[in-house]
């Protein structure tokens, strides 16, 4: 079984974590109890970091009190929440895939809700998130009136992050449907910053609104609006993939949308890089609780809250097998 997995936190200020201390490290083979070194060297030796830290974890993520700067209803049961945070946290949340846990200050810890960061303003120390009230946690969030507890930064909200970060001067296609318009924004900013030619297809989805227009109007990108799950949507995606020599596709939406895109890629027999929003149900976000554990054919049990996994493998597992 091949288990060279990439932990999103490897080499960060939060590494080594409790997984390393308990010999369950995602990346380091020696910190999985093996006698040999077989990691994907990322510039940091986690074993050495742990040894230098007297075999203890580094300081883990804190909770912050975030004041509410803005709270607006933007669509069907969908809300925009702008929160005051430290400038340091805002800076740490500028990368694609960034997310935080938030909850009402008056509720217990198990109300911690993972939320993708849509916009991060490090100069003013604010982050903006958008959520749809669908379950117990998010319905509690929509009643929030006072301070919010925020825990972060977390970064594994997108699978295929290395592709988004490395493509430069290429043609890219971004698909953003429903509430997933929110996590598409940080990726769009990165792709545009790296001089890519970006085509964006927006889909209102179940939110019933396009809510990122104000944030993207200054970006030099080509924009379409279409129902991505419809036949017309498929025809549009196929047309773009056939005519634009697309190097990277970023699918921001449900696993069903991701699967649809994978099928279109296979049908056209092309091989663009694929990045997708990580739709895993995340509970602790630290690789500890096991709530997100998924079994893959070659990798065995993986924890998608912290692990960068081949998007195709996990989507096929969830849509075709589970
Ligand atoms: S969410 Fe707890 S282990 Fe992944």
Instruction: Let me know: does 26 contact 19? Beta carbons within 8 Å.
Output: yes
**CA 306–ligand 1 middle distance (angstroms):** 8
Q: Which of 283, 304, 314 to mutate to test the pocket of ligand 1 (most atoms within 8 A of CB)?
A: 283
Specify the CATH superfamily of domain 62-154: Translation factors (2.40.30.10)
CB contact burial 292-314 (16+ within 10 A = b; e otherwise): bebebeebeebbbbbbbbebbbb
Please tell us whether the domain made up of 158-279 is placed in CATH 3.40.50.80: yes
> At 5, is the secondary structure helix, strand, or coil?
coil
pLDDT recorded at residue 297: 84
The first and second tokens of residue 93, run together, are 């949340």
Dist. CA 280 → ligand 1 center (Å): 9
CB 301 near ligand 1, within 6 Å: no
Name residues of the chain where pLDDT drops below 70.
1-3, 322
Q: Kindly give the pairing relationship between strand 6-7 and strand 113-116.
A: unpaired
Give the model's pLDDT for residue 33.
Answer: 87
By the 10 Å C-beta count (0-12 exposed, 13-18 middle, 19+ buried), 76 is classed as middle
pLDDT attached to residue 46: 92
Cα 302 to ligand 1 centroid, rounded to whole Å: 10
Residue 132 phi/psi, 5° resolution?
-110, 130
Q: Where are the domains of the chain?
A: 62-154, 158-279
The predicted-structure confidence for 137-153, as pLDDT tens digits, reads as follows: 999 999 888 789 999 99
Q: What's the token pair of residue 228?
A: 């991505």
**Ligand 1 geometric centre to CA of 293 (Å):** 7
Ligand 1 atom nearest to 288, measured from its CA: 3
The predicted pLDDT at position 4 comes to 77
Integer Rg of the chain from CA: 20
ipTM above 0.90, yes or no: yes
């Amino acid at each position: 079984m091949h288990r060279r997995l990439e932990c999103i936190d490897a080499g960060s200020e939060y590494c080594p974590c409790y997984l390393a201390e308990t010999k369950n490290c995602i990346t380091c083979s020696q910190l999985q109890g093996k006698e040999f070194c077989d990691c994907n060297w990322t510039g940091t030796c986690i074993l050495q970091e742990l040894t230098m830290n007297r075999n203890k974890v580094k300081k883990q993520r804190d909770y912050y009190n975030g004041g509410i700067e803005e709270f607006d209803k933007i669509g069907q049961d969908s809300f925009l929440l702008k929160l005051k945070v430290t400038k340091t946290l805002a800076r740490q949340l500028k990368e694609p895939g960034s997310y935080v846990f938030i909850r009402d200050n008056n509720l217990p810890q198990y109300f911690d809700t993972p939320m993708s960061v849509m916009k991060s303003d490090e100069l003013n120390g604010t982050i903006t998130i958008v959520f749809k009230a669908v379950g117990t946690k998010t319905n509690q969030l929509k009643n929030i009136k006072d301070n919010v507890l925020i825990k972060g930064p977390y970064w594994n909200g997108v699978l295929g992050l290395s592709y988004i970060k490395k493509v430069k001067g290429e043609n890219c296609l971004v698909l953003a449907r429903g509430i997933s318009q929110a996590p598409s924004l940080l990726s769009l900013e990165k792709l545009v910053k790296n001089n890519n030619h970006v085509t964006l297809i927006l889909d209102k989805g179940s939110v019933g609104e396009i809510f990122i227009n104000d944030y993207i109007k200054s970006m030099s990108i080509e924009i379409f609006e279409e129902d991505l799950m419809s036949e017309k949507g498929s025809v549009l995606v196929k047309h773009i993939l056939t005519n634009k020599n697309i190097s990277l596709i970023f699918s921001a939406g449900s696993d069903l949308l991701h699967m649809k895109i994978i099928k279109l890629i296979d049908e056209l027999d092309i091989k663009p890089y694929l990045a997708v929003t990580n739709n895993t149900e995340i509970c602790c976000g630290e690789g500890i609780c096991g709530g997100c554990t998924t079994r893959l054919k070659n990798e065995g049990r993986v924890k998608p809250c912290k692990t960068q996994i081949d998007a195709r493998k996990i989507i096929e597992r969830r849509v075709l097998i589970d």
